[in-house]
Amino acid sequence: MRWMVERNLIWILLLFLFIVEGGLVPWLIPADWKVDIAPHFVLIGVMYIAIFLNRHTALVYGIFFGLLQDVVYYGHMLGPHLFSMGLIGYLAGFGVRRSYISIGSVMTTIMAGNFLYSVLIYGIYQLFKVVQLPFSWVLTHQILPGIIIQLLFALLIYIPARHFFERTVFLQQDEN
Chain residues binding other proteins by CB under 8 A are 18-28, 31, 34-40, 68-69, 71-83, 86-87, 121-122, 124-125, 128-133, 137-138, 142, 146
Give the residue with the Cβ less far from other proteins, 1 or 12. 12
Smaller CB separation from other proteins, 18 or 115: 18
d(CA 35, CA 28): 12
CB of residue 158 vs other proteins: minimum separation in angstroms?
Answer: 21
Residue 38 or 49 with smaller CB distance to other proteins: 38
Other Cβ atoms within 10 Å of 70 Cβ, number: 19
Please report how close the Cβ of residue 38 comes to other proteins at its closest, in angstroms.
5
Minimum CB separation from other proteins for residue 73, in Å? 4
HSE of 160, CA atoms in CB hemisphere, 13 A: 8
84 or 168: whose CB is closer to other proteins?
84
Question: Maximum CA pair distance of the chain?
Answer: 53
Are 86 and 120 spatial neighbours (Cβ–Cβ below 8 Å)?
Answer: no
First-to-final CA distance of the chain: 10
The burial of 5, by beta-carbon neighbours within 10 Å (0-12 exposed, 13-18 middle, 19 or more buried), is given as exposed
> Min. distance of Cβ 108 from other proteins in angstroms?
23
Query: Least distance from C-beta 159 to other proteins, angstroms?
Result: 24
CB nearer to other proteins: give 4 or 133. Answer: 133
CB atoms within 10 A of CB 19: 12
